[in-house]
């Protein structure tokens, strides 16, 4: 029944998208998008890929995004055996911890998007959320052996809040770094990186858990250490906010034109 329910919901959404979803908005949402549309009209996908991969800041973001999101995928996949290893036969709480991870992640995604929209502090927000994800994973690792289930719930909520909250921030930061290239291209590459790292980490951590004496601890520490490397890599990303710069330049150009037109009308009125 669960799979039938999922199929029904996704099918209904697909039909609604076909009926109501527009190809593009009636007018560009920003001055930067006007410029991007003009640039991309003469560009193709292969040249866009070359331009994106020639950007070292995006390449770093591609790796660090894959590490963070891939770690989240690995934790979500292996959460049940991790929890049951420390809390034997506690299937119900294992499921509830996973639910806590997801629900907190929904809140994190919404709030991080609002914060980023208000502040425009792309790199600072990315580094801060990444560091909190790393700290949350270290706490989750060391809290599990204490057998305090309520603390595990708390740590899993913090972990889900920041790791899922990183997703929209990463997409927006990538759009800034790669402007005026298509946001769909950069987003697709980030998703591909996340899947690759997710597969590698899931298989690697599962192998460690099954074959090492302290496999659970070793696996969690590995994810924590990988996230720490991701924090260092994120710090090395240069904050080249191309989309914001283009937006400001376009606005300045518009203001100058309006001022020239206004001065010209004033002069004509005075001469009359």
CA-based angle 147:72:222, to the nearest 5? 65
Residue 140 near residue 156, CB atoms below 8 Å: yes
If we measure between CA atoms, which residue out of 19, 9, 28 comes closest to residue 243?
28
160 — phi, psi (to 5°)?
Answer: -65, -40
User: What is the pTM (predicted TM-score) of this model?
Assistant: 0.82
Quick: pLDDT tens for 186-244.
889 999 999 999 999 999 999 998 888 888 889 999 999 999 999 999 999 988 877 77
* Confidence at residue 38, expressed as pLDDT on a 0 to 100 scale: 55
Judged by average pLDDT, the poorest of 27-36, 79-88, 176-185 is 27-36
Query: Rounded distance, CA 194 to CA 65, Å?
Result: 7
Report the candidate in 116, 144, 137, 97 with the shortest Cα–Cα distance to residue 230: 137
Contact indicator for 48, 182 with CB cutoff of 8 Å: yes
R_g over Cα of the chain: 23
């Amino acid at each position: 029944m669960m799979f039938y329910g999922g199929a029904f919901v996704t099918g209904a959404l697909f039909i609604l998208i076909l009926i109501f979803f527009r190809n593009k908005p009636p007018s560009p949402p920003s001055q930067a998008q006007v410029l991007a549309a003009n640039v991309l009209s003469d560009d193709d996908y292969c040249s866009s890929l070359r331009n994106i991969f020639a950007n070292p800041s995006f390449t770093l973001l591609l790796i660090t995004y894959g590490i963070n999101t891939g770690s989240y995928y690995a934790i979500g996949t292996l959460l049940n055996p991790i929890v049951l290893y420390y809390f034997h036969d506690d299937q119900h709480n294992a499921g509830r911890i996973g639910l806590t991870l997801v629900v907190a992640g929904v809140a994190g995604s919404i709030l991080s998007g609002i914060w980023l929209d208000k502040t425009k502090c792309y790199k600072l927000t990315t580094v801060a959320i990444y560091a909190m994800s790393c700290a949350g994973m270290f706490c989750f690792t060391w809290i599990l052996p204490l057998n305090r289930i309520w603390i595990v719930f708390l740590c899993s909520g913090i972990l889900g809040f920041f790791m899922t909250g990183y997703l929209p921030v990463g997409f927006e930061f990538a759009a800034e770094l790669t402007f005026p290239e298509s946001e769909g291209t950069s987003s697709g590459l980030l998703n591909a990186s996340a899947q690759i790292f997710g597969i590698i980490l899931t298989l690697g951590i599962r192998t460690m858990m099954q074959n090492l004496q302290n496999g659970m601890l070793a696996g969690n520490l590995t994810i924590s250490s990988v996230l720490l490397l991701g924090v260092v890599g994120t710090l090395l990303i240069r904050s080249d906010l191309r989309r914001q710069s283009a937006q400001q330049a376009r606005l300045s150009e518009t203001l100058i034109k309006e001022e020239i037109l206004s001065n010209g009308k004033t002069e004509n009125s005075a001469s009359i």
